[in-house]
């Protein structure tokens, strides 16, 4: 069966939304999936809303996640939740900073990667591909911090899941 995984990442310009979706798309690609990723980023530098769609599976057609079909919505900034909620399917997962505890959020500059760590618990992509994608998409001096953020996000999501 052609199961396509649909993820939307959203936030404001300058928060690293596109970088996060680049990392996710690259990780899925490394894991052997067909991948498509798309966003509109004409004015994103200047602080406006940005969202990016990533789809992966055996075969992906349209690069845009249809409304109501996202399995997961990752939101970097609370004000952007309502704007984007419509992309989620009824039982889809919303992942935002408010889900995570203070420990997980201590690296403020890499919030995007922290949330990817939390997202990773929901997706069939092995850890090695995530790490390789982080390395390939970020400057070497940022690798350590972002690896740590990724692990913090992942651990926090696991703690939340264990509680429920």
Partner 1 sequence: MSDSPQLLSGDEAIALAALHAGVRLGTGYPGTPSTEILETFDRLGGRAQWSPNEKVALEVGLGAAFGGARTLVTMKHVGLNVAADPLFTAAYTDLVAGLVVVSADDPGMASSQNEQDNRHYARAAAVPMLEPMDSQEAYDFTLLAFEVSERWHLPVLLRITTRVCHAKTVVRPQNGFQAGSPVGPEPGFRRDIPARVMIPAYAKPAHRRLRQKLAEIAAWNDAEGPNRIFAGGSELCLIATGIAAMHAREAAPQASLLTIGMTYPLPLETIRTFAECCERVVVLEEGDPVLADALKAAGIAAEGKPEHYRYGELNVARVRRILAGDLSPEPVPPKGKPPELCQGCSHRGVFEVLRDLNCIVAGDIGCYTLGVLPPFQAMDTCVCMGASIGVGLGLRHVLPEAEARRVVSVIGDSTFVHSGITGLAEMVYNPPATGHVVLILDNGTTAMTGQQEHPGTGRTLSHDPTGRIHFEDLARAMGVQNVHLVDFQAAEGTLATLLKDLLAKSETSLVVTRQPCVLAAPKIRFYEKAAADRSATAPAAVVDD
Tell me whether residue 46 or residue 108 sits nearer to ligand SF4 (CB atom): 46
> Which of 42, 46, 61, 102 contacts ligand SF4 by CB under 6 A?
46
How far is it between the farthest Cα atoms of the chain? 41
Q: How far, in Å, CA of 33 to CA of 37, rounded?
A: 12
Strands 88-95 and 34-39: what pairing? unpaired
Q: How far, in Å, CA of 116 to CA of 27, rounded?
A: 11
> Which of 45, 62, 79, 127 contacts ligand SF4 by CB under 6 A?
45
Strands 70-75 and 5-12: what pairing? parallel
> Which of 8, 35, 75, 100 contacts partner 1 by CB under 8 A?
35
E strand map for 2-69: 5-12, 34-39, 49-57
To ligand SF4, the closest distance from the beta carbon of 141 in angstroms equals: 24
Question: In this chain, which stretch among 75-83, 90-98, 107-115, 146-154 interacts with partner 1, using CB under 8 A?
Answer: 75-83
Tell me whether residue 16 or residue 153 sits nearer to ligand SF4 (CB atom): 16
Size of the site for partner 1 (CB under 8 A): 35
- Can residue 13 be called a binding residue for partner 1 (CB under 8 A)? yes
- Can residue 41 be called a binding residue for partner 1 (CB under 8 A)? yes
Backbone angles phi, psi at 39, to 5 degrees: -160, 165
Which residues are at the interface with ligand SF4 (CB under 6 A)? 45-46
């Amino acid at each position: 069966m052609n199961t396509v995984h649909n993820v939307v990442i959203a936030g404001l310009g300058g928060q690293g939304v596109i970088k996060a979706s680049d990392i996710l798309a690259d990780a899925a690609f490394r894991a052997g999936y067909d991948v498509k990723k798309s966003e509109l980023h004409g004015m994103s530098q200047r602080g406006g809303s940005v969202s990016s769609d990533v789809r992966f599976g055996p075969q992906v057609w349209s690069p845009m996640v249809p409304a109501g079909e996202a399995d997961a919505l990752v939101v970097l900034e609370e004000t952007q939740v309502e704007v984007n909620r419509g992309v989620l399917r009824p039982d889809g997962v919303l992942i935002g900073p408010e889900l995570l505890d203070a420990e997980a959020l201590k690296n403020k500059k890499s919030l995007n990667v922290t949330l990817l760590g939390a997202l990773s618990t929901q997706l069939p992509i092995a850890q090695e591909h995530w790490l390789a994608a982080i390395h390939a998409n970020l400057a070497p001096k940022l690798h350590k911090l972002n690896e740590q953020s990724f692990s913090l996000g992942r651990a926090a999501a696991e703690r939340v899941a264990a509680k429920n």
